[in-house]
Structure 1
Amino acid sequence: MRLMPDKGPIENASTIPQLIRQAAARYGEQPFIEEGGIKVSFADFARRVEQVVAALIARGIEPGDRIAVWAPNISEWVIAALGAQSAGAILVTLNTRGKGSEVGYILRQSGARMLFSIGEFLGNDYPAMLAGEELPALEETVVFRRQETGHTRWENFLASGSAVSADEVAQRMASVCGDDISDILFTSGTTGKPKGVMTAHAQNLRAFAFWAENVDVRCGDRYLAINPFFHSYGYKAGILVCATSGATLLPHAVFDSGEILRRVAEERISVLPGPPTLFQSLLSHPQLDDYDISSLRTTTTGAAAIPVEMIHQMKERLGFERIITAYGLTESCGLVSMCRPEDDAETIATTSGRAIPGIELRCVDGDNKPLPAGDPGEIVFRGYNAMRGYFDNDAATAETIDADGWVHSGDIGVLDERGNLRITDRLKDMFITGGFNCYPAEIENTLSSHPVIAMNAVIGVPDERMGEVAMAFVVLKPGAELGDEELILWCRERMANYKVPRFVRFEKSLPLNASGKILKPELRKMVTSEPA
């Protein structure tokens, strides 16, 4: 591994097109993306982004138009997404595990004019999954890595902007401002309806410049991007951090612990962020000691409780010099708090660190009053990282951002005397499956559409490998019959795999309070007292 400390990070870019051009000037022919036989230097990446901008101008795409990307971690994702943003368009990311109806909903809600999509991935024909979806705003689908398609091929798309002048491209890229919306990432809330979180260029670049500095990502580092690009962790803490720092981004499309160990050893990976399940899988791999993983240097993790012993093992057996845990949510650009390099293993394992610079962080009571250290309350934050609102949803924005500018996370936490944050619960009942956020209300909404289900409730239950998984409590309509395996198969056809309940319990009734709301604490008691 060859680090180049003489080429420090980009510090003064306030927009993504500025970042791309400055990175090309500073890092030049150094590799930015490596994927299989594909190698793209920083300078070449800038040229490819300009091709995307030219093609979008040729199509009449205007600043503020929404452009969606639905693909796994591949080089084209990065080029298309940052190319769209460099044309002043707003990136809408789409979950590769989503089904056609889930993705169709987001395309309709965002009013996306264009879609960039993989042709086939893990046996799924992605464009075909949208057949039958009403998408009135969608004008064109551009398909990666497919020669025969009824849609536009990626190569033809890139070639189509040849008549657009370099001056037009430069002017469009220069017209993008730091306060312009750069992306809309959809996240679910208690209503179960996905909401589009809007964030801007400058706030994202500022937050993840600190992330890069705190994690110590350097020029010449080799960063294995396992976290999916459709998520802020993969896109912002991955793509943007590498562009800012001069690190090489190595996309990884499918999680497999043996393949990850192989790539770390053969491709000399030095930066390897991921959820705790990643490191648990590596530490328990039977051939771990057969791989030379001495290149590993720095990482971040979080999104679940971590045993202190795992932090020690990550240093002793995996060889990490720096391990940072963090807390964030989509509404915060993805980052609120981080541990610091000097923190001990217990602080790193049991907390999500302190607020990042420029951010205020509190735990508040039901009256929105700040609580003293040690008292649990709702986590709220305020500062430059606060979202600009939910797209086309003023009511939900007003419910989340109060009159004083505090963003209410819906999570419950405790701050210690040093300002370290410990997450204790989730007001929204969200649970985390293998690093993915699962929202019970969203799963419940889908289950409620089943023709023989009268009532249902979903909770997260512990799982050794995934952290937590969904468990559904189901009441059937009178006289109806339904098996648990039959219901699970039905769910697999209608929702992303990580949302699918792993356990189903059929009940004659569910515990309700006086207003008819299901008492989920009672369901959790049922699980602990009577294992399924």
Structure 2
Amino acid sequence: MDKGSYTCGTSEFPLLGMTMGEMIDYIATKYPETEAIVSVHQNIRLTYREFLERINLVARGLMGMGVEKGDRVGIWAMNHAEWVVIQFATAKIGAIMVNINPAYRTYELEYVLKQAEIQTLFLQGRFKTSDYVGMFYEACPEAWEQKPGHISSEKFPFLKNVIFMGDIPYNGMFTWDEFVKKAEDITMDEVIERGESLSFDDPINIQYTSGTTGFPKGVVLTHHSVLNNGYIIGEGMRFSEKDKLCIPVPFYHCFGMVLSNMACATHGSTMVLPSPAFDAEEVLKTVEKECCTALHGVPTMFIAELTHPSFSKYNLRSLRTGI
């Protein structure tokens, strides 16, 4: 393949010519004992070695459910550690992860399931006023009468698997533990073989626009674009394995998934998740407790933090950068 387009331009350093799977294998080998993820609200702490082990387990689970290269895997959830694991596991086996906005209502879920031709769907339980399981059954009532892994829907002809990111055995859905058990049918050699068949120009993500002027539009991203955007952001922030980034922005959006997660993962930095959705005081608490060196957010988030009644009681001196 002619790679001239990847070596031209005015960049001071070459772009990374690897897949996301190859990158996370390299980083986990280089920084095995550095913390990769700290999910404060879940009480989860994973080093890069443990993070890679989870990624490989989920990758095997997906392959054990029959997920092939190019299949679409939807994720409808807030900021949980599992979200990031699924992000890398899908890329590692060449599946295309479809980010689904947790604010979507039933009709929007239906649109994305159909338009993106989603084959496997991960979804979380209720959060505040959103009942994700209830909305799924509203969109696909036939799943209630069907066995996990055998969904058959005229409306969603591609949909086969639904995984509940918890331990409640809902009709037609695998629990998280049942899904992970599928990994027993797949060896790491099979995951490695799948990885060797991938190119960094392969699509691995579909991001949906807000749909302000019509239905949301799906934008297809490759290993190359996601990986290098994150890497360049991390370079700009001078990230290293000593940095900890507090991430209150949503993963379903490219801000969280690329500018936050990938900036950290490409540099061996730590992803710190203060809460499932933005909470100003949880951000302040987390920055102090975890000694975060960087903080991401949109202007309204920073305003909410700066004007919070308890702002002055938190020690935020560890911060040195952010977006």
Q: TM-score, normalised by structure 2?
A: 0.86
Structure 1 runs (4+) greater than 3 angstroms displaced: 10-13, 188-191
Distance in 2, matches of 1:57 and 1:288, equals 47
Are 1:139 and 2:160 an aligned pair?
yes
Does residue 164 (structure 1) correspond to residue 168 (structure 2)? The answer is no
Deviation string 1:97-150 (CA, Å, 9 cap, x unpaired) is 111211121111000000011122224321221223232221111111233422
Q: Partner residue of 1:15?
A: 19
- Alignment partner of 1:121 is 2:127: yes
Trace 1:407-418 onto structure 2 (pairs within 5 A): none
Corresponding residue number in structure 1 for 2:242:
220
Structure 2 Cα separation of the partners of residues 189 and 71 of structure 1: 19
Residue matched to 2:279: 256
How far apart, CA to CA, are the structure 2 residues paired with 1:189 and 1:12? 32
How far 1:94 moved relative to its partner? 0.4
Cα 1:100–1:189, aligned 2, differ >3 Å: closer, same or farther?
closer
CA shift in 2, pair 1:154/1:11, >3 Å: farther
Alignment partner of 2:59 out of 41, 53, 60? 53
Q: What letter matches 1:240 in structure 2? A: M
The superposition leaves residues 440-473 of structure 1 with CA deviations (integer Å, 9 ceiling, x where unpaired) of xxxxxxxxxxxxxxxxxxxxxxxxxxxxxxxxxx
The residue number in structure 1 matching 2:145 is none
* Contact 1:88-1:173 at 8 Å conserved across structures: yes
Deviation at 1:239, TM superposition (A): 1.2
Whether 2:306 is the aligned partner of 1:280: answer no
- CA pair 250-13 structure 1, distance change in 2 beyond 3 A: farther
Match of 2:28 in 1: 24
Whether the 8 Å contact between 1:182 and 1:201 is mirrored in structure 2 is: yes
Where 1:160 maps in the other structure, the secondary structure is helix
CA deviations over 1:340-392 (Å, ceiling 9, x no partner): xxxxxxxxxxxxxxxxxxxxxxxxxxxxxxxxxxxxxxxxxxxxxxxxxxxxx
| 2:228 corresponding residue in structure 1 | 206
Alpha-carbon distance change, 32 to 11 in structure 1, aligned in 2, over 3 angstroms: farther
2:98 counterpart SS class = strand
1:81 shift after superposition: 2.2
Gaps (5+ residues) in structure 1? 1-9, 301-532
More helix by share: 2
Does the aligned pair in 1 maintain the 2:120–2:161 contact within 8 Å?
A: yes
Tell me the SS of whatever aligns to 2:218: strand
2:4 equivalent in structure 1: none
Check 1:143–1:101 CA distance in 2 against 1; reply closer, same or farther (3 A cut). Answer: same
1:192 and 2:214 aligned: yes
How much does 1:266 deviate?
1.4
Deviation digits for residues 150-173 of structure 1 (CA, Å, limit 9, x no counterpart) = 210112111212121221111112
8 Å Cα contact 1:223-1:248 kept in structure 2: yes
Tell me, yes or no, if structure 1 residue 70 matches structure 2 residue 70.
Answer: no
Change (3 A) 1:13 1:49: farther
Same amino acid, percent of matched pairs? 32
Classify the secondary structure of the residue corresponding to 2:278: coil
- The RMSD of aligned alpha carbons is 1.7
Q: Distance in 2 between matches of 1:154 and 1:125?
A: 18
Higher RCO, Cα 8 Å, sep 6+: 2
Secondary structure of the structure 1 residue equivalent to 2:245: strand
Which SS does the other structure have where 1:120 is aligned? coil
Deviations 1:163-195 (A, max 9, x none): 212211111122221100011111155750211
| CA distance in structure 1 between the aligned counterparts of 2:261 and 2:225, rounded to whole angstroms | 15
Distance in 2 (CA, whole Å) between partners of 1:243 and 1:219 is 9
2:290 corresponds in structure 1 to: 267
Give the Cα–Cα distance (whole angstroms) in 1 for the partners of residues 63 and 305 of structure 2: 45
Q: 1:253 to 1:189 in 2, by over 3 A?
A: closer
User: Counterparts of 1:258 and 1:49 in 2: how far apart (Å)?
Assistant: 31
Matched residue count: 291
Correspondence for 2:142: none
Contact 2:247 2:296 in 1 (8 A): yes
Among candidates 83, 103, 108, match of residue 109 of structure 2: 103
- Aligned AA for 2:293? S
Which residue of structure 2 aligns with residue 40 of structure 1?
46
- Amino acid corresponding to residue 274 of structure 1 in structure 2: G
TM-score of the aligned structures, taking structure 1 as reference length: 0.53
**SS state of the match for residue 119, structure 1?**
coil
2:73/2:96 contact within 8 Å kept:
yes
SS at match of 2:101: coil
- Matched residue, 1:423: none
Post-superposition offset of 1:13: 5.3
Runs (5+) with no aligned partner, structure 2 = 1-13, 140-154
Q: Work out the CA distance in 2 between the residues paired with 1:100 and 1:217.
A: 40
Distance in 2 of aligned mates of 1:112 and 1:189? 19
User: Which has the larger Rg?
Assistant: 1
CA distance in 2, matches of 1:22, 1:228: 26
Distance 1:91 1:156 in 2: 20
CA separation of 1:25 and 1:12: change in aligned 2, threshold 3 A: farther
Alignment counterpart, residue 170 of structure 2, candidates 149, 154, 159: 149
